[in-house]
Amino acid sequence: MENSFVKGGEKNNNHQPPLSDAQSLSSSHSHEHQASIKYLNKYQNSIENKEAFWQEQASQLQWSKPFTQVSDVSFDKNDLHIRWFADGELNVCVNCVDRHLAERADQPAIVWEGDNPDHSISLTYKQLHEEICKLANALESLGVTAGDRVILYMPMVPEAAFAMLACARIGAIHSAVFGGFSSAALADRINNCEAKLIITADLGLRGTKSIPLKASVDEALTLAEGHSVDKVLVVKQPHGSGTPAWNDKVDLWYHDCVDNQSTEHTPPTFDAEHPLFILYTSGSTGKPKGLQHSSGGYLCYAQTTFKEVFDYRDGEVFWCTADIGWITGHTYLIYGPLAAGATTIMYEGVPNFPTLARFGEVIDKHNVNIFYTAPTTIRMLMADANTALSGSQRTSLRILGTVGEPISPDVWQWYYDDFGLQQAQVVDTWWQTETGGHLIVPIPDSGPVKPGAAQRPFYGIEPQLVDSNGDILEGETSGHLVILDSWPGQARTIWGDHQRFIDTYFSTYEGMYFSGDGARRDEDGDYWITGRVDDVLNVSGHRLGTAEIESAALTYSDIAEAAVVGYPHDVKGQGIYIFVVAKTGVESAETLTDSVRSKIRQALGPIATPDHIQWSPDLPKTRSGKIMRRILRKIASNDFAELGDTSTLADPSVVDKLISGRKDLN
Ligand code: 6R9
């Protein structure tokens, strides 16, 4: 991509600097904030000639059989279907690895940085290809065939990347489950997708903590009664404890299956719409949803956004800190960078091990040019900036990305000024598990950047704001964020429940994809994401449904009712606050707080551990029995001033009791 932000690969200080503070965004300066003509032209063209635009992008993949139709899409809830490049055939793994061998066999594809600062491994495209072929052969010899589901419950080790790509190679559908999820959450996913095989490790390592992954898989298989798992492949970690509990009928060591396999494997080809992976994410109701992504459209979108949004240039080193258990770890740790022939860093550990200086040290050690992380991590670094910035120069940085939650202008500014030394452009990328890749983002060179704003639609993307009737709002305004038309990277369905897919995303506002987020559009037409408008929390950049946490609490036999809300949290963005009502007859309920907390942890995993548990004699309900969460959110946030109208409550006196209970907790 042609780009004047930095010319000819040299560092250049002539680019238009991002605005130095949020104040300078007043409307009197709005003429300075216009997006660049070049971006506007390209954007306009991508909308007016959408098919031609995506045809051009998709032609940058290697197709075994070219497609003749670009898209076949309807957002009508009575006829919902999303298909891109549907009669084309390709192999996703070939596109990420094999096709680069001619030119990049000896270029590092994945650089793995261990939890221990003395451990790192560089794998060239050639070596990556060999490892994937060996595993693909092993999976086939275990009877895994195209369309089978394979769960990956893995630490951030190279085998996790081999596993994703080997599945893609043989057409097996992978479903990565974050290692921080509990065995109960894993069991739900095993059953939901009817997994045939699980790939895991004996232990995971995060800082000084060991995570007993294999033991959790054992537990999950006990919980997932009648499951369909034949085999569990276990990667032996050098720091492993020796022999985990073992079931000879099911468990196999990864190295025993893989080491003697051939390093060659002839890749079959698959339809563009063949499912590549399922990834579970939380919604406002019920159990997590398994979003199903495609092969051709997803990869086209991953590659295009990776190259454009990070302005990737040949030979650069890219580091995305996300875990492969999340969508960011799929699109921008594995598929996007490898499709583009980049060098991608995979880091096993956590930001503060051995110290908070680690991220800077890793950036220097591997000369990282593009760094992509979450606001929660930036806030963590910022909270002890001296340590975080010590011991590293970070002069290799050219682009700094952020994702997962709104970034406040002060955090944005620190990221730009202090972490990036005012030399790297910040790109705040808004997107979702459902969208497959970036949708709203200040593409480098698309015009001046505003701290805290995701700003501009990516090429081919048509965002809009609507009111509660679904009427499109014009100009400077706030509303619910919808997307009017499809893009290739969009999820195709919810695994096993297409109706839920339609109901969740295409029924609130007819003919539009509803994101579940709210946003503001400013006088320049730039978007500012304000956060979820449904009952989904964003804790440290992770999505959690309040309903899931409530049902976990309700499995505790002494609890009659539970209501979960989010409240502002300095580092996590949002903290989890749970109001619980004990069953009649339960005495000194407060003494049960710790065991309720561990029950929820057990049910969902450590990321869902409540920050505050408040016992209350009752919850604020309307006369029709609906919990007024608006009031609970205010109370949890210690904001008692404007509780709004409480007259419709069945028992308004409950509010005072909640407030005094809140004050006692402080
Ligand atoms: C990629 C990812 C999606 C939800 C999304 C929104 C929030 C993500 C954001 C952001 C403000 C950004 N979100 N990026 N909010 N600015 N740049 O995070 O996917 O885990 O599915 O979460 O995260 O609320 O709806 P996912």
Radius of gyration of the chain from its Cα atoms, rounded to whole angstroms: 25
Percent of residues in the chain assigned helix, strand, coil, to nearest 5: 35, 25, 45
Structure tokens at 166: 């080997």
At residue 621, the pLDDT reads 87
Contact 611, 597 (CB under 8 A): no
Whole-Å CA distances, 655 to 132, 621, 632:
59, 10, 9
Would you give the distance in Å from CA 588 to the centre of its chain? 40
Quick one: which of 384, 387, 381, 391 has its CA closest to 361?
391
Q: Which of 280, 289, 430, 433 to mutate to test the pocket of ligand 1 (most atoms within 8 A of CB)?
A: 430
Query: In ligand 1, which atom is closest to the CA atom of 402?
Result: 17
Name the residue with the closest Cα to ligand 1, atom 7: 405
Pocket lining: 148 vs ligand 1, CB cutoff 6 Å: no
ipTM score: 1.00
pTM for the predicted model, two decimal places: 0.90
Quick one: which of 487, 93, 142 has its CA closest to 276?
93
How far is residue 482's CA from residue 253's CA, in Å, rounded to a whole number?
A: 46
SS3 459: coil
Q: Which of 279, 456, 527, 529 to mutate to test the pocket of ligand 1 (most atoms within 8 A of CB)?
A: 529
Query: In ligand 1, which atom is closest to the CA atom of 430?
Result: 17
Pocket lining: 291 vs ligand 1, CB cutoff 6 Å: no
Residue 636's Cβ-count burial label (10 Å; 0-12, 13-18, 19+) is: buried
pLDDT tens digits along 149-181: 999 999 999 999 999 999 999 999 999 999 999
Pocket lining: 432 vs ligand 1, CB cutoff 6 Å: yes
At residue 33, the pLDDT reads 52
Structure tokens at 290: 């398994």
At residue 7, the pLDDT reads 24
Which residue stretches of the chain have pLDDT < 70? 1-33, 241
Q: Tokens 């990321």, residue?
A: 607
Query: In ligand 1, which atom is closest to the CA atom of 531?
Result: 24
Q: Write out the DSSP string of 422-434.
A: TTSEEEEEB--GG
Structure tokens at 494: 């919810």
Pocket lining: 300 vs ligand 1, CB cutoff 6 Å: no
Determine if residue 90 is left, alpha or beta; phi over 0 gives left, psi from -120 to 50 gives alpha, anything else beta. Answer: beta
How far is residue 582's CA from residue 584's CA, in Å, rounded to a whole number?
A: 6
- DSSP letter assigned to residue 440: B
At residue 412, the pLDDT reads 96
Strand order in the sheet with 251-253: 251-253, 231-235, 197-201, 149-153, 173-176, 277-281, 289-293, 493-494
How far is residue 329's CA from residue 322's CA, in Å, rounded to a whole number?
A: 5
H/E stretch holding 589 reads: none
At residue 464, the pLDDT reads 98
